[in-house]
Amino acid sequence: MLIDSPINLLSMDRNAMESYFCDLGEKRFRAKQLLQWIYQRNVIDFAKMTDLSKSLRKKLSDEACLAMPIIVSQQLSADGTCKWLLELKDGNCIETVYIPEKDRGTLCVSSQVGCGLNCTFCATARQGYNRNLDVDEIIAQVWIANNALESIGVGGYFDNRPQDDLETGDFSLTDQRRPVTNVVMMGMGEPLLNFESVVAAMNLMMDDFSFGLSKRRVTLSTAGVVPAIDRLAESCPVSLAVSLHAPNDELRNKLVPINKKYPIEQLLAACLRYVGENKRQRITFEYVMLKGINDSPSHARELAKLLEDVPSKVNLIPFNPFEGVHLERSDSRTIDRFRDILLGQGIFTIMRRTRGEDIDAACGQLAGDFHDRTKRSVHMKQQKVVFS
């Protein structure tokens, strides 16, 4: 019997999908088969899932769907970075970015339509906020990237198994290499303000019958939602990155206003709890370099002092300008000096190379296309933050 609203199976993790098949009167292992077809074979047509019975394929076609966002545009940077503008089921659009390296391919995934925070240096913040993304809208970004990159020959997809294995569905993730090897929840939005959907999607990314990513290859970046950091440690302890950007509360209050609610002392305490007894884990602290604002030698020394007892890695990020913002990027000499001070104090520090700037795909430049329900975009255009 047909139902009015087909169930989007992309919204289900393995446990939910097993329950779904049991409700259909099917064996639980059907969930594993379906996950493999979707995420390891890029097949979203039930009719092509040849190890499922014809009657089950018909039932799935009638009652369920595998609905993906629509690719509105695809831009390829001169440095190989690729950006997609994806239209969601309600007409809003988000952006997703793929960054290729010699030994990995990192996908920057969005978690919200816009962002509810008000970070001064971020293009997404100036666009305002509409809503959280659903699980299917988050996981679909990884599926779309892998599929699109395979089509255009970026990153490569290699599958040398016999045709018999393809027909029977007898395959595993170790048989294949995909363009996306790492995922960072670092796109549009604050992931920890969409906790349930983000955690469900990350667990699906790490499922052996899905993308099979390890915890160290999935990173969540937060501006510092302290209670949710503790929840994440208990439910899904992936790699953690913190958007710090200032060595003291006075400056961070201006750059990252959520600091007023969760100041640096509370944030670092949460980071230490997150690491716990794991001596090998480090928290990545992201620090955008803003000319004349947070880039002086005194700021560097203060940052080194702040992090001296935290297992950490500092990622210095050259500011990426966007329309309507009056901030400037620190020059390379200033960034080098800042890095050298941190290294001299024993703080492991790297400088992130700007990627995708020619297509507005660099860190902090993602904007999407959506209706701002908060009216923050108007406020931000009128606002001028004064740094003394």
Residue 357, domain member (yes or no): yes
Same domain, yes or no: 234 and 104:
yes
CATH number at residue 15: 1.10.150.530
Residue 92 tokens read as 């809003």
Show which of 65, 83, 105 is a domain's final residue: 65
Is 271 designated active site? no
pTM for this one?
A: 0.87
Q: Which two three-digit tokens encode residue 72?
A: 């509105």
- Domain harbouring 240, CATH code: 3.20.20.70
Are 120 and 249 in the same domain? yes
Looking at the structure, tell me whether residues 332 and 345 fall in a common domain. yes
Return d(Cα 29, Cα 203) in angstroms, integer.
18
41 lies in the same domain as 82: no
- Rounded-to-integer distance, Cα 281 and Cα 203, Å: 19
Domain with 112 in it: 70-382
For residue 99, CA distances in Å to 102, 116, 164, 233, 361 come to 10, 25, 34, 27, 9
- Note whether 23 and 142 are same-domain residues: no
Residues 30 and 78 in one domain: no
Position 26 scores a pLDDT of 96
- pLDDT the model gives residue 382: 46
Q: What is the pLDDT of residue 326?
A: 82
240 in the same domain as 334:
yes
Residue 380: per-residue pLDDT: 46
The reply to whether 2 falls in a domain is no
Q: Reply yes or no on whether 95 is catalytic.
A: yes
Which one of the listed residues 93, 108, 122, 363 is annotated catalytic?
363
Indicate if 167 and 42 belong to the same structural domain. Answer: no
DSSP result, 304-368: HHHTTTS-EEEEEEE----TT----BPPHHHHHHHHHHHHHTT--EEEPPP-SGGGT-STT----
Q: What was the pLDDT predicted at 145?
A: 97
Domain count, the chain: 2
**Domain end position, chosen among 65, 88, 110:** 65
- The active-site residue out of 18, 26, 93, 95 is 95
Phi, psi of 298 (to 5 degrees): -65, -35
Burial category of 5 from C-beta neighbours within 10 Å (exposed 0-12, middle 13-18, buried 19 and up): exposed
Count Cβ atoms below 10 Å from residue 196 Cβ, excluding itself.
Answer: 11
C-alpha distances in angstroms, 365 versus 86, 121, 188, 229, 321?
16, 9, 9, 25, 7
Q: In which residue are the tokens 């369920």 written? A: 64
User: With contact defined as beta carbons under 8 Å apart, do 343 and 300 qualify?
Assistant: no
Sign of CA dihedral 88, 91, 93, 98: positive
- pLDDT the model gives residue 325: 76
CA 305 from chain center: how many Å?
Answer: 30
- Same domain (yes/no): 150, 133: yes
| Residue 336 and residue 367 share a domain | yes
- Record the tokens describing residue 18, joined without a space: 């097993």
Q: 3-state DSSP call for residue 41?
A: coil
Within this chain, do residues 21 and 100 fall inside the same structural domain, yes or no? Answer: no
User: How confident is the model at residue 77, as a pLDDT?
Assistant: 87
The predicted structure's pLDDT at residue 387: 55
Would you state the pLDDT for residue 354? 67
Answer with the one of 46, 65, 84 that is the final residue of a domain. 65
Instruction: Give the residue from 41, 30, 133, 121 showing the smallest Cα distance to 90.
Output: 133
Of 146, 151, 110, 145, the residue nearest 130 (C-alpha): 110
Collect the ranges in the chain with pLDDT lower than 70: 1-4, 154-177, 354-388
- Sign of the C-alpha dihedral, residues 67, 72, 78, 81? negative
Q: H/E element holding 84?
A: strand 82-87
